[in-house]
Structure formats: structure tokens, C-alpha cells
Chain A
């Protein structure tokens, strides 16, 4: 979905349609009607109770009870199959963990660094090495290794399931279309909603954590693989068919090798998606870093943050390592001679040999399975071990931020209050208090104007479905948070995006920051803002802005860069100033890219706003979180369905008149 495509290079769009100006005016007119509707009929028409189907939550609860009974009786053969799968997952995670511990911490450090060095180059190897060193110094070695084992298992299974499906989907358009709604649902429905059924069926432990992760990490694997297979030009496929290749041969010898980059990107994205579920996995026995975050969130926030930092470090290292390996092993780029191949083979063997020697030596010398505590206490900085020193710093930082007398608080508090009082609350009132039929009518009209007839119909149906599920008000509450966060993200994104497009130096400076921001797991964003801006809804909003901004910046930058030279030169020839060229030529011509940025931003923001429910943002996210915390399973699922419907509606309203691309057509 959004993230996946955000990391792909945005396509450059052709010239905009001349109708756009008219559409802009129409859109404004529709918004005016909405505001007038609000002023005239404020609070007069709430969603009628007769139009809701409120039995669904209870039915779902009953279904969960039934599941539990079946599981307890243990006679259903279906559960035997699931049990076998669970046993396999448990075995895989345990085996990996045992292996990681068997090669000792020294071997782990050496093996990962050397493998990345051999296939990904020294930069990625250095990052990998530093990542492991930091796990050791942060005192989170054991937890990090546990998380790594969990991730490796989840990613391996995701790839084994996702890539074949993706290959079929890439070759059969109809199959792909049929699959898309399911993939959307898997990614938009928050994991919290299905945590308990997964636990009932698969019990707690690594298997349950792996299975939850699969649900989230398989879709990007499928999508990007399909995208890669389709991206192989029809000429190559036809050429191979003309030469008499069977479909299997064409797939293995032409399509897969040519889609190699996309396949590796699929691996990279699967890892990133899997990592963002680490925290939630902690709730159901996934152990590792996620455990530390969830159990520390309320009682030891500094430690929770420290574990969050470790997750971020792991995400960055895995991202850079896989990206570098994908790049460096690209046959198209290497053009190896026979001699070169021979040498490369020798270096690989030498690397493997070195790893084996180091592992055996480490074992012979009695290195511990995990980085030993004694080392942690032995390495002291300012009279304390590194972990407690850093924890101390984080604590001091948190105290400082929360101190009303501090400088930072003087900024964050008014900003938070401003966002709440001047932005969130008015939009919330507008959406929640305006009669529902006006909101639906205006949204549908907006979709019609901006995107066309079919999207308008979809948006209409989705909004009606939300009302029908009986969650109109919380859904509008969530929508208002999404809209405000997207508006902020778009303003910042466009400003920085234009700046970066105009100045290569700015773009270069931004790249590592954007890369890092896009790598972070969603929940990690929110934790710091609970402390930075203790103003109810604001942490979720600010976190989602940060999450969405990099993608918008990239799309805007690429869009402006992609403006053809001819009109720009023509404008310059007429003596237009730089600012005029930008305002009158480049930005209007890049409109479609900017619109794509808005669209992608909305969906990304929705994902984080929903997670914000965990930390008090209320609305739909809150219902989903409660589903687990207070065992309101049915309510949680209903809220998740509403989130899905809301995501689709927001996407359709803003998708514009573009073709939906496989990777980016989120929802």
C-alpha cells in the first residue's frame, strides 16, 4: 500500500488537464455547501438508529466464543492442521534463536558484519556492525536477538507465501484484481483487531506473533512481486515465447531475472512491514524488544523508549543492508568477467571460512550465547554502565520536556493547544455535527469532481457502510484527525518538496533523514510525542504527520523535477522570474504528482492515527484498542471495518483521474 509505493520512485506525470482550474472551483463550492450545512443544521440530524445494524458486534463475539469452544473441545480436525502450522512456526523461531545463540554473540556479530561486507559493501557492513554494537551497549542484546529470530522466521514465511502469489498475480490481471481488496484489508485493519482470535487458535508464543506479522507483511511481498513481473516489458516476454520457451521457462529465465530488483525490494519491504509489528507481537508472547516496549510504556517509559530506539536501529540496519545487497549483487550493473567471477567466488569462500573460524574460536574460548551482563557493567561511562547512563539521559530528557518551565515546553504546549483548538476541534465539529446526509453528499460530489464516477460511487457506498455499522460519529472523529494531519503534512511536504526540487543540496541533505523516517515502525513514532505534547489527540496527529511527510516530499520533488524542460524554457524566454516559473509553470504542471502525494499521505496518516487510539486519540482507534484491552472483540472488528471503509472512501475521493497503479492503489 502506501508505504510500499512511497518507497518506489514516483512516476513522472504528463501535463495536467486544462479542466483542473474549474475542478478546483467546484471543489471549493462543495466545501462551502458543507460549511453552510453545518451552520444551518448543526447537531440536528445524527445518523438514524433505524439505519444501523447493531447486532454485528454481538454476532462476532459469539463467533469468537464458538471458536474458543471448538478449540477447547479439540475434536475439530481443522484445528489439527492449524496446530501443525503453529508447531512449525514455533519450531522455526526457536531453531533460529538457538542457532543465533549457538554461534555466540561474537559469532553473531562477525557473521552478520562479514556477510553484509561481502555482498553489500563496507558502508552497509559498518552500519550492521554498529547496530549490533549498540544492541550490546544498550543492554538489549538478548531482546534484539529474540526479535531478529522472530523477524527472520516471519519474513521467510511471508516471502515463501507472498512471492508465488505475487508471481501469479503479476501474470494474471484478473487474479490480481480479485486479490487487491483482500490485500488492502490485511494492511489497513489494525493488528489489534485480530490479536485475540489468533491467540485463541494459535495460543500465545512466537507462533502467534509470527502469524500476526504474516497478515501484515505478506501484502507488500505480493504487491511488489506482481509489480516487478508486470514491469518486465512485453517485448522480452514475446521474444522468449517466439524462441519457443515454455511459460515456465519464460518465467524462470526471463521474467524473474528481469524482475530481480523488484523482488529484492519486496524482501526489503516485507522486512520493514514485519518490523512494524514487533511491538504488537510483544503483547502475545513474541518476546524480544516488543516486550520491553509494551511492558515499559506505562511503568518505565525511558526503557520503552530505549527499546524503541533499538527497533529503529535494527530497522535502519536491515533496510540499508538489504538495499545494499540488492544493489551490489545486481548482475546488470556488475558485468563480471570470468576472472572476476572466479575472484568473487574466492572472496565468498574466504568470508564463509572466516565466519566459521571465528564462530569455532569463539565457542572454543567459551564466549557466551548472548552478550554477557558482566561486560555491560564493566564498560562504564561516568561511573555507571552505559545502559543506565543512557536511561538516565532519557529520563532527564523526558523530565525536561514535561517541565512547564522549560523552553521546549514553551513551544510544544502552545503548538499542541493550537493544533487542538484551532484545527482539530473545528474540523471535528464540522464533520460530526453537520447532518450525515450533507457530509455524504458533499464527499460523493467531491469524489465525482476530483476522481470520476466510479470512485464517487465507491466512496458513497463506503460512507453509507460506516453509518450502517453504527460508528458514524467515531468514524467522523477519526476522519477529522486524518484530514488535519494530512493538511499539515501536505503543507510541510509541498514546501520542502519544492525547496528540494529547486536545490540539489537540500535534496541531498534531506535524503538520509527521509530514509530514516520512512524506516521507523509506526508505533515508535507515537511514544515520544505522548511526552512531548501531552494534549489528548495531538501526539497521534503529530506522529502521523512525521510518518506521511517523507512520501509527500518525495512525490512533490519528483513531480517538479519531472516537469518537461520545454514549457520551463519557454517561460524563461518570456522573461519570467524564478518565482514566476515555479508558481505559474512548474507547480501547476506537477499538480498530479502533488495530488498523488495528498492521496498517499491520507492513507499513511490513517494508519498512524488509528494506532494513536492506543495512546488516547480516541475515535475508531480507541475502539480497536479496547477490543483487546477490554475484550470487546466484536466492537473492535466493527471499528476495523469502518477504518477500512474510511480508508477506501478517502482514497477514492482524492485519487484523482489517474490510473491506479499496482503498488500504490492503497485501498
Chain B
């Protein structure tokens, strides 16, 4: 029992030591929360959220470089999941999300109803989902430019269509049915597995037809071509993209709609008068810009800080436009 008691004594002593140390330390931390004073010049701390894909890392670090180098801000990065970050912005814990893929439900809840998050306008990057094949297959079969060319030649792809990550928006099973193609929809699972599948085929120079999207850094590494799906027209303007709702395949018979990617800001940040807000609001990137930096980070394993700095150095003119 003696040792038992002693163990407690030790633990208590340690806890006390920890508490003392913590109190001593936390004072230094207190001043960091502010910094968003209403004065025109002082930038202070800005918290950006980096999402779990390379493109988001790219634009976040570009912004970080600009804010730190040109405005003298102190940029902090959170890595929250896409939906929880809305609450983080509402609570003022995260200031900005630079790449939001149209979370319409959240827009309604946080922007329209609660007013704790504000729209920051389009980033300029446009999300686009479609059916892709390696360029070398397109060279051999120019008829694959549109889906009609696939008809009767499905055996080129071994009658297989490689579906996307099951957590992504998709309607390919329905499309195959509605378009009357002789294809079997197969899935490899999560995105890394799907990439492993098609990139292997690519390296072996084998034809492969798969669900893919832009912006994506791998598009800089692999030469891919798109198979055009039936265009969206006034006639089919009710055409849907997310087949999770189920129902008649016919209602999905069109290409995927372009997704405008938005910047979002915490209301607190937008009202703070921080110069960082004006710059982030003007920030614009193209798919090319983003893929290029993302490839440097995810493909060539460059340090994100460096990759962001390199892009800023090479694109002074673009950055200057944000700073005006």
C-alpha cells in the first residue's frame, strides 16, 4: 500500500508541476487570439483551413505566402473536415476556407439563416467531373471524343468502367444504363485505390475508362482525355448529378454540371477590417495554377511553403492584382 500511496504523491506532484508550468505559459498565449483590430494596416493572425486534398493545400499555401510576405500577417492553418469547418467559422475559430465545393445545405444554415459565415465569391477554380481515358487511347480512337463513339466499342475497355471513390458525387451506373452502353461498373474503393487501378493500366499502355475530375494534380502527371457526355441544354435542365437519390436512370442522362468553387469567410473575420480579408476576397486562381502547385506538393513532394512561395514569385502580376 505504501507504494500505492507514493504513486499518488508522485502523480500529484507532477500534476502540480504541470499546472504551475501551464499557468506560467498560458499567459503568453493570451494575446494571440486578437490581432484582428479594425485599423487599416495591422493584419495580425489569420486562420485558414486546409482541406484533405492536394489542391486545397496548394491554394492555402499560396494565400499563406502572400499574407505573410506582403501583409506581415501571422497565418495559422487548421485541417478540419469540410462540414465541421462551417461551425469553426461560425465560432470564429477559422477565418477562411478558400476551396468550398458548394455545400448548399450549409450555405442555407450558416450563411442565409445564422449569418455567421459569409460568401467570399468564386476562387476561379472550377470543379468538373467526367469520364476520362488516357490520351494514347484517344489518339488511336478519335471517335471516343464523345460517348456515342463508345457504343459498340466497349470491348476496347474490356467492357469495364472504373467508378469513382464511393463517397464522391456520381451517377455513372445510371448514365451507363441510360446511354445503353455495354459496360460493367466496377469500383476499386477509395480514391487512392482507384488511382492505383487506372494509373497501372496507363503505365502498361492499356486502355481504361474511368470516373475522374479536375482540378486534380495527377492531371499534370498523366496525359488524360475526356469523353464528352450528353451536354446540358434547356431541354434537360432538370438533369441530376447525384444518383444517391435513385429513381429513373433517364433523369441522370447528361454531363456533370460544373461546380463553382467558392471562398467562404467567417463573419467575424469579414467585419474585422483586416487587410487580409480584402486580399483573400480578390484572390483568384485558375485550374492550371492550382494543379501545378498541387503537383509540386503531392507529386514531387516539395515543401508546401516553398511550392506556394515559388508560385507567388512566378506570378507576381496575378498577386499584384489581389493586393490592389
Contact = CB atoms under 8 A, between A and B. Distances in A.
Interface string A64-101: 01001100100000000000000000000011101101
A472 to B, nearest CB: 15
Given A284-B81, A299-B53, A404-B204, A336 B3 contact: yes
| Most central of A260, A295, A403, A530 by chain B CB within 10 Å | A295
Interface string B183-197: 000111111111011
Nearest to A257: B1
Contacts of A535: 188-189, 193
Given A98-B22, A99-B21, A119-B7, A531 B192 contact: yes
B215 to A, nearest CB: 13
A200 interface: yes
A629 interface: yes
Contacts of A616: 165-167, 187-190, 193
A476 interface: no
Given A72-B116, A628-B81, A298 B52 contact: yes
A344 interface: yes
B38 interface: no
B187 A204 contact: no
A582 interface: no
A341 B2 contact: yes
Contacts of B93: 203-205, 285
Interface stretch (B10-18, B143-151, B172-180): B10-18
A297 to B, nearest CB: 7
A219 interface: no
Given A204-B93, A283-B80, A616-B193, A94 B29 contact: yes
Nearest to A619: B166
B138 to A, nearest CB: 22
Category for how many chain A residues contact B: 35 or more
Interface string B289-321: 000001001100100000000000000000000
A270 interface: no
Nearest to A329: B3
A344 B114 contact: no
Contacts of B266: none
B79 interface: yes
**A interface majority secondary structure:** helix
A631 B84 contact: no
Interface string B12-35: 010001110111111001000000
Interface string A268-299: 00000000000000111101000100110111
B103 to A, nearest CB: 7
B297 A299 contact: yes
A391 B53 CA distance: 18
Interface string A353-395: 0000000000000000000000000000000000010010001
Contacts, number: 191
B91 A95 contact: no
A666 B217 CA distance: 45
A653 interface: no
A273 to B, nearest CB: 21
A536 interface: yes
A601 interface: no
A287 B50 CA distance: 13
B197 A534 contact: yes
Interface string A226-253: 0000000000000000000000000000
Contact of B193 (A334, A344, A531): A531
Interface string A89-119: 0000011101101110000000000010001
A114 to B, nearest CB: 11
B83 interface: yes
A656 to B, nearest CB: 35
Nearest to B199: A402
Contacts of A402: 196, 199-200
Interface string B99-110: 000010110010
Contacts of B167: 614, 616, 622, 625-626, 629-630
B235 to A, nearest CB: 29
B86 to A, nearest CB: 9
| Most central of B26, B52, B78 by chain A CB within 10 Å | B52
B87 interface: yes
Contacts of B192: 297-298, 301, 530-531, 534
B83 A536 contact: no
B41 to A, nearest CB: 29
A287 B24 CA distance: 23
B108 to A, nearest CB: 9
Given A294-B79, A531-B196, A616-B190, A283 B114 contact: no
B90 interface: yes
B4 interface: yes
A164 interface: no
Given A99-B21, A102-B21, A285-B78, A299 B52 contact: yes
Given A98-B22, A294-B52, A348 B190 contact: no
10 contacts: A98-B25, A102-B22, A195-B84, A196-B84, A295-B57, A534-B194, A535-B193, A536-B189, A615-B190, A617-B189
**4 pairs of A and B residues whose beta carbons are closest in the complex:** A616-B189, A95-B22, A299-B54, A534-B193
Interface of A: 65, 68-69, 72, 94-96, 98-99, 101-103, 115, 119, 195-196, 199-200, 203-205, 208, 257, 260, 282-285, 287, 291, 294-295, 297-301, 329, 331, 334, 336, 341, 344-345, 348, 352, 388, 391, 395, 402-404, 530-531, 534-537, 539, 614-618, 622, 625-626, 628-631
